[in-house]
Structure 1
C-alpha cells in the first residue's frame, strides 16, 4: 500500500477545488480517503468515518455497490465510448433520456447530457439564449439569480452564483441580476414569514420592471440553496416566484443538482415538495450517485420545439455528453432507488435525521439549524440574541468539522456553517450516532472559544 506521506508528496502537484491552497501546504491539512463502503469512508491509515457529505452531495445509494460496478464494467465491455454528437446516439443514452423524461414533472421531455452541475446550468442558459434568438428576441438574455445561490464554477455558472464566490475572479456578471437571499432568519427582521415572502415577491416584480421583461430570459433557483449555507425559502416561495415569472414570459429554471434523486424524498423535488413545474430542471450528483460524472438539463416540450425547428443547428455540445458508462451508471442507480424504495424511505429516515439535528438548537453555539431531510445546515453564532457571527479568523465551522472527523464523522465547514448531506442509506442508529458526534464536537469547540 502506498504510504500517506508518498500520496501527499504526489498530491502537492494537484490543484484542489474550493480550497485554501496555501493552507494546504501545512502538515496535516489534507486527508487522504483511500476506501469506501456503504455509508462509510476510510482514510489511508484505516480510520473509518461516516460519510456525512456523501462525497459532495453525491453518493445517494452509498459506496461500493457491486451492482453499479458491474453495470459500468459491462457497458465498457460492450461500448466503451461514443458521443451523442451529430447524427450518432447509442442505446444507453437513449434509454436514460426516456427514463428521465418519465420521472421529470410536467412536459419536461427533452434531455441534454453534460458531465457536471456547472455544465448543466451553463447549458440551460445557453439553450434559452438560443431559444430567444430563434424567436426573434435577441435582447432577452439576462438572468435573475439570488444572493446565496450556488450554480457552478464555469464562467457563466459562476456569474449566476452568489457574488461572494467571484471575489478575486471574473464572471459574466453583466448578464446577471442578483435578488435578496430568501433567508428569513437572517433577512426577515421585523417581518412575519408571510410578509417576508411578500417583500421577496415585490423585489422580483420591481427588478423585472427595472430591467424589462423583454431583456430577461430566466430566473434560476435551487429549491434549497446548498453551498450558500443550506437556505430554505419561506413556504410558497417557489410557486409565487414562478407565477410572477410566467406572467412576464420569463422561464423558470430549477437547479436540482443537489435536491433530485432522493435527497428530499423524491426523484425530483420541484413539483412533489415545492409545488412548481419548472421550464427547465438541471440535475447531476445523485443522477449517478457519483459513480460516474454526469449531468442532465431537462427542458420543456415548448423550448425543445423551438430549438429543434427547421433552419437551426444546435451548436452546443461536450465530448462526453451521454457517455455510455455514465449513462449505464445512471440507469442502474435509478433502478436501485426504485427497487429499494430509497426516496420513499428518505421521507421517514430523512425526517428523523432532520428532527435529531434540529434538537442541537439547545446548544449555546448554535444559532439556527435549517434544511430538510438529508440536506441540513447548522449555523454557529457568537450571540444568539443578536445573531452576531464569529469573525472569519475564528474558523468555527472548520474547528467543529475537525472535531467531528476526530470522532469518526466527515462534515463540511462553510464559514460559520456546518453542512450535513449524507448518503441516503442510513438507519436510525447511525443517525443517532451522528447526532451524538455533533453534540460532542460542538460542545468541545464552544468551550474553547
Structure 2
C-alpha cells in the first residue's frame, strides 16, 4: 500500500500546497456558498485519511466526527476497496446502461433485495442521494400516470427534512435556510410538522405529540384528498435536520395511513442505510416498516465512489407490467446508472459490513450514545439525542425556553473551530453539532471524541460570556 501511495501524477497539487488554496479561490465553486464569497473562497484543505482520522493541510490529525458526510462507514484507506476500484477499472471501467449491462450491478441488486424489508426486490442505481430521491419521485409520477391517476402527484414532506439538492428533491427540504433564496416545485409539496420531540409544546406529553403528528397527517390527507397525494417521503431519522429521532410508533402509524390511501411511502435511508444504525436498512430492522420504496447512497460504498439507488416494491412493478399501457416509457436514466466500478466497490463494502462492521456498530452504539449524553451536564447544551452511531448536541441559550441562541447563529461553527484545534472535526449546524463517526470507532476513540467536544463546548461558553452574548 505504501508503494501505491508513492505513485502520484506529477500535476496533482499536493495537500498543504498554498497553490491549492489560491486555485480554489480563483476557480472552484464550493457547495452551499454565500453570494458574497461564491467562487472566491477556500475551505479547510484535507490531505489524507486513515481509519477514523483525517489530516489537514498543516499536518494536524483529526477524528473525522462526521465520517466525511455521514458516509465513510468502514473508515478511511481501506485497501480492499481501493484494490476493487483498480481491478474493476482494468476489467470494465464503464458501459452504457441504455442498451448494455454489467455483472456487478446485477449481483449488487440481488444482495440489496436479500437485505431489504418487505417485498422490496428491485433496485434502480443512481449517482447519489439527491438523484435517488429524484428517481423515486419521478417513478411515483410515472406509476400514477400509467395507472390512470394523473392528478395523484402531490408529495408530503416535513419540517426539518433534508432530501437533496436536485429540483424535486430540494423542494421537499424542510429547513427554511435551504429555501430562502432558492426556487422549488412548491405547488407539488405539502410540508407537515417536524417529528422533533425536543421542540414539542412544553405542556405536551410524548404520546400526545405523537397523536398530534399522526392526526395532522390524517387530516391533511382528508382535506387535500387521497386522490391527489402520490407519496410521503421521510427519513427514519432526520439527519441534517439535527438527528431528529421520531417518537416510538409514529412512523408505523404514518405507514398505515399511506397504505389505506394508496399513498406511496418512500423511506429516505440515504444516511441511515448501510450501517449507521447497525443494520443495512433501518426501515425494517429498527422501525418495523415495509416501505414502497427505499432511497439510499452514502454508506453503500462508504464514500469511496459516488453511488445511490432506489429499491422498489415488487407489487408496484407487477402493477405496471399488468397495466393497459405496456408501451408506456419510464423516460428516466443517468449516464452513470449502474456504474460497474461503483457497484463493484459496493459489493466489497457489503462484505466488510457483514463480516463484522455491522455487529461492531450495534455493540458500540449504546456506549457512543451514553458518553455523548454526559455533555448535557454543560449549561450550554439543551439536549443530546441520537440513534446508532449518529447523534446531535443541540445548544440553547436557555433550557427553559429552549431559545436556539438567536443572538449568535454561529455557535456550532465556534465549537467546531475549537474542536479542530484540539483534534476533532465536527459537523456544525447553526446551534447544533452533529457526530456520525466511522462505524469502526473504538471505545477509546469515543472517549477522545467526547473529551474534545466537551472542551470545545466549554471554550465556546467562555467566549460567549466574555462577549456578553450569553449569561449561562
Equivalent residue of 1:235, what SS? Answer: coil
Equivalent residue of 1:220, what SS? Answer: strand
**CA apart distance, 1:26:** 9.1
Select which of 411, 417, 424 maps to 2:432: 417
* Residue 317 (structure 1) aligned with residue 361 (structure 2): no
TM-score (norm 1): 0.97
How far apart, CA to CA, are the structure 2 residues paired with 1:243 and 1:366?
36
* Residue 91 (structure 1) aligned with residue 103 (structure 2): yes
Select which of 84, 98, 101 maps to 1:71: 84
- What are the equivalent positions in structure 2 for 1:367-382 lying under 5 Å apart? 367-382=382-397
* Residue 408 (structure 1) aligned with residue 420 (structure 2): no
Q: How many residues align?
A: 446
Quote the residue 1:158 is aligned against: 170
Quote the residue 1:127 is aligned against: 139
Quote the residue 1:214 is aligned against: 227
The question of whether the paired residues in 1 share the 8 Å contact of 2:65 and 2:425 is answered with yes
Quote the residue 2:379 is aligned against: 364
The question of whether the paired residues in 1 share the 8 Å contact of 2:132 and 2:295 is answered with yes
Cα 1:322–1:26, aligned 2, differ >3 Å: closer, same or farther? Answer: closer
- What are the equivalent positions in structure 2 for 1:221-240 lying under 5 Å apart? 221-240=234-253
**CA apart distance, 1:221:** 0.4
Cα 1:301–1:68, aligned 2, differ >3 Å: closer, same or farther? Answer: same
Between 3-12 and 430-439, report the one with greater CA deviation.
Answer: 3-12
* Residue 32 (structure 1) aligned with residue 48 (structure 2): no
**CA apart distance, 1:20:** 3.6
How far apart, CA to CA, are the structure 1 residues paired with 2:155 and 2:80?
41
- What are the equivalent positions in structure 2 for 1:136-285 lying under 5 Å apart? 136-162=148-174, 164=176, 165-285=178-298
* Residue 51 (structure 1) aligned with residue 64 (structure 2): yes
Equivalent residue of 1:225, what SS? Answer: coil
**CA apart distance, 1:103:** 0.9
Cα 1:393–1:23, aligned 2, differ >3 Å: closer, same or farther? Answer: farther
How far apart, CA to CA, are the structure 2 residues paired with 1:302 and 1:354?
38
- What are the equivalent positions in structure 2 for 1:1-16 lying under 5 Å apart? 1=14, 3-12=16-25, 13-16=27-30
Offset from partner CA, 1:98-139 (integer Å, 9 cap, x none):
111111111100110000100000100100110011111010
Equivalent residue of 1:96, what SS? Answer: helix
**CA apart distance, 1:276:** 0.8
**Runs of 4+ displaced beyond 4 Å:** 23-27
**CA apart distance, 1:312:** 2.2
* Residue 337 (structure 1) aligned with residue 382 (structure 2): no
Quote the residue 1:110 is aligned against: 122
Q: Unaligned stretches of 5+ in structure 2?
A: 1-13, 465-472
How far apart, CA to CA, are the structure 1 residues paired with 2:281 and 2:68?
20
The question of whether the paired residues in 2 share the 8 Å contact of 1:392 and 1:415 is answered with no
The question of whether the paired residues in 2 share the 8 Å contact of 1:134 and 1:306 is answered with no
The question of whether the paired residues in 2 share the 8 Å contact of 1:110 and 1:299 is answered with yes
**CA apart distance, 1:373:** 2.0
Q: Unaligned stretches of 5+ in structure 1?
A: none
TM-score (norm 2): 0.92
Quote the residue 1:428 is aligned against: 443
Quote the residue 1:390 is aligned against: 405
How far apart, CA to CA, are the structure 2 residues paired with 1:392 and 1:118?
33
Cα 1:444–1:24, aligned 2, differ >3 Å: closer, same or farther? Answer: farther
The question of whether the paired residues in 2 share the 8 Å contact of 1:130 and 1:307 is answered with no
**CA apart distance, 1:23:** 5.5
